[in-house]
Structure 1
Amino acid sequence: MGMKIALAGNPNCGKTTLFNALTGASQHVGNWPGVTVEKKEGKLRGHGDVIIQDLPGVYSLSPYTLEEVVTRDYLVTEQPDAILNIIDASNLERNLYLTTQLMELGLPVVIALNMMDVVRRQGGSIQSSALSQALGVPVVEISALKGENCVEAALEAVRAAKSRQAAKPVTFGEDIEHALEQIGTQVSGHCQPSHNRWYAVKLFERDARTELPLGQMAKDTIEAYIKTVEDAQDDDAESIITNARYECAAKLAHAAGREGKVHKLTGSDKIDQIVTNRWLGFPIFVGVMFLVYYLSISTVGTMMTDWVNDVLFGEIIPPAVEGWLASAATPEWLNGLVLDGIVAGVGSVLGFLPQMMVLFLCLAFLEDCGYMARIAFLMDRIFRRFGLSGKSFIPMLIGTGCGVPGIMASRTIENQRDRRMTVITTTFIPCSAKLPVIALIAGALFGGAWWVGPSAYFVGVAAIICSGIILKKTRLFVGDPAPFVMELPAYHWPSLKGVLRHMWERAVAFIKKAGTVIFLAVTLIWFLQTFNFRLEMVEQNESILASIGNVLAPIFAPLGWGDWRAAVAAISGLIAKENVVGTLGVLFGFAEVAEDGVEIWGTMQQVFTPVAAYSFLVFNLLCAPCFAAIGAVRRELGGKWTLIAVGYQCLLAYMVSLCIYQFGALLTGAASFGVGTVVAIIILVVFLYLLFRPQPKPESKLRRAAVKA
């Protein structure tokens, strides 16, 4: 097994950028054993025997969130050969708090002072040699974004690992050190000698996750030493250690001679005065997301998608495949499977890949430049007014790529009620799998209207906010939102290489999905729409799928799309949301082209009116996510809460879509006042009541009030 170097640091310290610079394409992404937090590792370029392990970003090794648990457990139990501690040099003192904990693990440590280019641009400086002397470990100045000294820092960590010289822990006050020394004698023999200091500190803090096979006498002795220090300092043990760490961090930062024009606003500060402004922040956010979807769906992405659909999957691939099948004299059923099933279904999904790549590119740019962190900060201000935490928006931002990691990211929320509600509502934000559905509806039924894409995004945001208000007024979720603290990184121009890599990774993941899950799904759809129950090739309307669809169609008739093909497409989206487009591609004959060159997608206009089309879109955006995301919900919340989540999502999607169609059809004259309209009015009245009814007091407050009375 090769040498392992662990990258550890605070969130937004540039750790992932450094990891990408060190490993390039030789990366492996998986999950930590027993948990679903993403695990990244890769080989150091030019050194195949050196494994770089990217740990989740944490502020402390006293775990409250799953990321902190994973990082701590890995460092304590797995014991990498060395730790490369990445520090945001522009926030030196705060980052050094984690460093004081890493130094106690009995492992070689190397400090990488990242973002030195930002420090210099601000007119500041850091004496890295003085910091190295104060800590007793190597310190390397780097800029992960610009690739400065990245490899040098990694090689320094390799040298430290080979020397096996463990870092010396920082020291606290005399009374604390005396207590730690005595506690250390009690734990000696119960842990590795290199971990003696670590366990002594954790036992002093009364860390609940620290377990050692100590006898009752040893525990009583340890407790006596802790109480002595607590009485002397008139504080609890955990706070005493926390304060001592901050004092050490302040002394270390002072030793480094951190200088800068602190009185002068930086460029990031000036930008934040505008983009996080109480009044301008949200309109700017709306404008940014409108621009992202406008570029992806209505302009740049559409031009490339039109070429892929009309030329590649219209004039090149189908005739070529058809000619090859004819020359091979293949049977009729195989021709239908390949042309009407695989090419039509998978091709209809891949046809929207250019639009998705433009979206991925825009989101990668916003994330890497630092604006996404501001959106979370901005949404916290809005969310808290409705009883939600800004922490809930982090999973939702991640969910714009895929709902599964978005659901997993909810583990950073300490409050169990807030976490459950976040998991239930996260998938309302359109993920990349829903983009083909949005693009299809916008292009085939709204003539590429600019407003369809952005409106889909904000329908998701509105569903989250309204759900938060309503759910927070129930006993299951009532309570104050969790506090939200987040580091806002300095703005910077992302590296072109990093943004393109981010876009490419997501695109490849989508292509793999199209080649596996969607391939199997459209093949099944083709079989069901080609054969009857006696396995005879029949017309589409006499097929197995039509029989099943005709049973389901009446359920969706009040929503404006009672055609069996639309019903089947919506149900197939539970496997993977892209299947909605793939299924429609098979059922409406995407591979065929009319004589005038117009795609058969135009026949969808005979099934969907504009209002019904938007109702169909909203239903697929809000209803239960794909099976993979549902599985992630089950892993996070368990079976009971999964049923609650899926039931709520489907019910909300149905009611919102029903109201959209019934009121929209009434206003446009497409339908007259009827039973469906009455039902929609009742739903709206109940919804408004739940939205605006008074906020109940938390159960604990009610009990206290009753006791007082």
Structure 2
Amino acid sequence: MTLKDLEIGESASILSVGGEGALRQHFLDMGLIPEAEVTMVKLAPMGDPIQLKIHGYELTIRIADAEKIEVSRIDTLTQEKVIRRNKRQIPHPGLGEGGKYHVKADEHPLKDGEKLTFALAGNQNSGKTTFFNRLTGANQHVGNFPGVTVDRKDGVIKGRGDTLVTDLPGIYSMSPYSSEEIVTREFILHEKPKGIINIVDASNIERNLYLTLQLMELDVPMVIALNMMDEVRENGGSILINEMESMLGVPVVPISAAKNEGINEIIEHALHVAKYQERPGRLDFCSADGERGAVHRCIHSILHLIEDHAEKAGIPARFAATKLAEKDALVLEKLNLDSNEKEILAHMILQMEKERGLDCAAAVADMRFHFIQKLCDVTVVKPKESKEHARSRKIDKILTGKYTAIPAFAGIMGIVFWLTFNVIGAFLSDLLDMGITWLTGLTDAALRAMDVNSAVHSLVIDGIFTGVGSVLSFLPIIVTLFFFLSMLEDSGYMARVAFVMDKLLRKIGLSGRSIVPMLIGFGCTVPGVMASRTLSSERDRKMTILLTPFMSCSAKLPIYAFFTAAFFPKQGALVMVLLYFIGIAVGILVALLLKGSVFKGEPVPFVMELPNYRLPGAKNVVQLLWEKAKDFLQRAFTVIFIATIAIWFLQTFDLHFKIVKDSQNSILAFAAGIIAPVFNPLGFGDWRISTALITGFMAKESVVSTLSVLIPSKESLLGLLTPLTAAALLVFCLLYTPCVAAVASIKRELGGKWAVAVVIGQCAIAWLAAFMIHGIGVVFGFS
């Protein structure tokens, strides 16, 4: 039977793992190895993917992949061993002391003043970024979703100017399955940090230690930070730190990054091992006995064969040997072996597979997990089911239930939009608007009292206050939307959305993981595009990036609010929701078109860990809101400020730089009039609308500030547009090219050709959509 045939609640022992290539290697690295015990937890609401429990954590995979894994049912899982402390406890080693396996220190420590560089590495969702913020005082965004860190970030340890810590993307192993794993691997191998700080989730230790063993094989000075120890203790578990340190031969320090516990101790150990270049005391995790002895002999034979090549390539020999035993093509290419050596290597691997009874990748993964099992049997007292997990199970009965998941998702997003646009955001926006109006009146009176030149008066009031002020009043709506999105991400709900929506997204050629970049895109397209780096498939990554701009970003909210207040005051929430759904619908149509043409093929496999629900951290949420508000204010007083002044200048002067009485005679009217005819079929071929759309390319909020300068009164706007042409214009603003910052991020991820294609393609789609809205309205007699 296969894993797919298990009923919910049933357990089985894995017999073999089918498939091939990087995906199969990824499954093995995640712990899906022969003899591992696995339990079926549940099916997604649409029947696919499935959720499994293995090695103490929960993993989701698709049914198509589960069919490739052969299993044998078991009645009960292997009982956890009860560990009793020895009467004679092992003392905790001090700085520079090892246990059973003593650390290897260089005879020549680093010179005083030499910069100590550290790589911060660990599994996804292990608390790396929280720890990084504690170390450096940085304010990186922290989220309860696997893969929040999508790029490397650098920082200096507080109070230590001679250090540099690089927070690397979270990875599960050193196999090149996804782009972030390659980033981490290449950084450690080629930029050669002086030390590694390995963050291990102590509540999920077996899976986390798999990466630890691979990092140790790199032979770089290293310390292990056992994070979330507070959760382990609270749930009745413990880890015998001294015994673990003795068996591994590297410093092990219990910490809680969230509660700021153990941070100073881990810093001391990290600085010491880097300064004195104390490398791991153990690199060999093979068992020389029994059937696993074949793996031991194979790795050591390869080690002797490639030692000189590894030294020339600058790759640690033990790491290279183990990777070659797995048939890692990237390492093989870098070692530059000749044909005879490659033939000998192939024979060694073939002989190992014959003796072990497993293929090479499964045999090496089994070797690591076997050592981890021995280590945990001696040093880990497993906690009872955590409060966090018990709470997550209860919540998931509703949020991922068969009949409740989709309605719950729609309800949650509906509440978010209602509170943002009709209650909290709208109330705060009105308050701020009242404040800006009062300040504008006060400034206007002061300028008149001082008898300031009329041109300067116009610049300050009609240009700066009207333009920038009209955008600033929408800041509360944007911050409110970001608040709710960050709460959902922080809580762990985003990962569930990916789990629930995977089957649906697969119909348009995407993976469930693509839902997260697109949901982030509702806040801002730039981080949404960056979040696509967590997708392991280049095809899925490109498709997700191209679709994310169709998700209406919060910068467009001022445009919607501006036109809705003027033309649809009683249907504000309905118009907002319709615009969001139009964006999603057009994105789906484009996805289907891309799936059948440019991006043929199947979406990336859905392999993801589901984290426990956690209460969002107040500090993290406040910090994120401040960052978004600060970013908005910086744009308001830089890009939008400059654009507003430029618009005021161009619409105040004619081609001879004389002040005009009618803006239709201005430089702006002349320039914008050239492209205005393009919009005539859409019903808004006025030069002022054209100007606003052009400035919107710099920043979407500029559309409102520009119109506020060019069309100062509501009556003028109502005379210029009808409800029908306003609706067509709203759809055009929804769909046309994203802002310069978003285009720049697309160029950085995909290259210049794709960025140009996005700009041209979205403008064409926006024109067609607006034309259809206007045409249908005319046919049915709307005005």
Partner letter of residue 194 of structure 2? D
Aligned to 1:463: 586
Counterparts of 1:337-416 in structure 2 under 5 Å? 337-416=459-538
1:300 equivalent in alignment to 2:424? yes
Aligned to 1:207: 328
Aligned to 2:396: 272
Question: Alignment partner for residue 692 of structure 2, among 563, 566, 569?
Answer: 569
Partner letter of residue 181 of structure 1? H
1:287 equivalent in alignment to 2:408? no
Q: Distance in 1 between matches of 2:768 and 2:546?
A: 17
Is the CA contact (8 Å cut-off) linking 1:518 and 1:582 kept in structure 2? yes
Cα drift, residue 171 of structure 1? 1.2
Q: Distance in 2 between matches of 1:605 and 1:154?
A: 64
Is the CA contact (8 Å cut-off) linking 1:404 and 1:629 kept in structure 2? yes
Q: Distance in 1 between matches of 2:225 and 2:198?
A: 6
User: Relative to 1, partners in 2 of residues 1:278 and 1:610: Cα closer, same or farther, differing over 3 Å?
Assistant: farther
Q: Which moved more, 1:69-78 or 1:550-559?
A: 550-559
Question: Alignment partner for residue 171 of structure 1, among 270, 280, 285?
Answer: 285
Give a deviation string over 1:375-412, Cα, whole Å, max 9, x none: 22222232123332113223213323432232233333
Is the CA contact (8 Å cut-off) linking 1:318 and 1:343 kept in structure 2? no
Q: Structure 2: give runs of 5+ residues left out of the alignment.
A: 1-113, 143-148, 287-291
Partner SS state of residue 156, structure 1: helix
Aligned to 2:619: 497
Partner letter of residue 258 of structure 2? L
Normalized per residue, the structure richer in helix is: 1
User: Relative to 1, partners in 2 of residues 1:131 and 1:656: Cα closer, same or farther, differing over 3 Å?
Assistant: farther
Is the CA contact (8 Å cut-off) linking 1:298 and 1:450 kept in structure 2? yes
Partner letter of residue 626 of structure 1? C
Partner SS state of residue 8, structure 1: strand
Q: Distance in 1 between matches of 2:386 and 2:476?
A: 46
Q: Which moved more, 1:184-193 or 1:352-361?
A: 184-193
Partner letter of residue 221 of structure 2? P
Cα drift, residue 484 of structure 1? 1.5
Aligned to 1:705: none
Aligned to 1:621: 734
Cα drift, residue 609 of structure 1? 3.5
Cα drift, residue 651 of structure 1? 2.7
User: Relative to 1, partners in 2 of residues 1:398 and 1:153: Cα closer, same or farther, differing over 3 Å?
Assistant: farther
Cα drift, residue 324 of structure 1? 5.7
Partner SS state of residue 278, structure 2: coil
User: Relative to 1, partners in 2 of residues 1:649 and 1:258: Cα closer, same or farther, differing over 3 Å?
Assistant: farther
User: Relative to 1, partners in 2 of residues 1:284 and 1:122: Cα closer, same or farther, differing over 3 Å?
Assistant: farther
Cα drift, residue 123 of structure 1? 4.7
Is the CA contact (8 Å cut-off) linking 1:410 and 1:419 kept in structure 2? yes
Partner letter of residue 782 of structure 2? A
Aligned to 2:543: 421
Cα drift, residue 63 of structure 1? 1.7
Is the CA contact (8 Å cut-off) linking 1:8 and 1:86 kept in structure 2? yes
Partner letter of residue 169 of structure 1? L
- State the percentage of identical aligned residues: 44
Question: Alignment partner for residue 450 of structure 1, among 573, 597, 605?
Answer: 573
Cα drift, residue 653 of structure 1? 2.2
Cα drift, residue 6 of structure 1? 2.5
Is the CA contact (8 Å cut-off) linking 1:65 and 1:413 kept in structure 2? yes
Aligned to 2:156: 43
Partner SS state of residue 113, structure 1: strand
Number of residue pairs matched? 651
Give a deviation string over 1:654-678, Cα, whole Å, max 9, x none: 23333334435655x424xxxxxxx
1:23 equivalent in alignment to 2:142? no
Cα drift, residue 622 of structure 1? 1.8
Aligned to 2:176: 63
Aligned to 2:597: 475
Q: Distance in 1 between matches of 2:728 and 2:364?
A: 57
Cα drift, residue 125 of structure 1? 4.0
User: Relative to 1, partners in 2 of residues 1:224 and 1:500: Cα closer, same or farther, differing over 3 Å?
Assistant: same
1:246 equivalent in alignment to 2:369? yes
Partner SS state of residue 609, structure 2: coil
User: Relative to 1, partners in 2 of residues 1:321 and 1:95: Cα closer, same or farther, differing over 3 Å?
Assistant: farther
1:536 equivalent in alignment to 2:649? no
Q: Distance in 2 between matches of 1:118 and 1:463?
A: 45
Question: Alignment partner for residue 98 of structure 1, among 205, 208, 211?
Answer: 211
User: Relative to 1, partners in 2 of residues 1:99 and 1:342: Cα closer, same or farther, differing over 3 Å?
Assistant: same
Is the CA contact (8 Å cut-off) linking 2:326 and 2:364 kept in structure 1? yes
Partner SS state of residue 117, structure 2: strand
Q: Distance in 2 between matches of 1:454 and 1:334?
A: 41
Aligned to 1:107: 220
Cα drift, residue 268 of structure 1? 0.7
- TM (norm. structure 1) is 0.84
- TM (norm. structure 2) is 0.76
Is the CA contact (8 Å cut-off) linking 1:83 and 1:107 kept in structure 2? yes
Partner letter of residue 259 of structure 1? K
Aligned to 1:700: none
Q: Distance in 2 between matches of 1:255 and 1:664?
A: 74
Is the CA contact (8 Å cut-off) linking 1:27 and 1:42 kept in structure 2? no
User: Relative to 1, partners in 2 of residues 1:127 and 1:581: Cα closer, same or farther, differing over 3 Å?
Assistant: farther
User: Relative to 1, partners in 2 of residues 1:161 and 1:466: Cα closer, same or farther, differing over 3 Å?
Assistant: same
Q: Distance in 1 between matches of 2:283 and 2:445?
A: 71
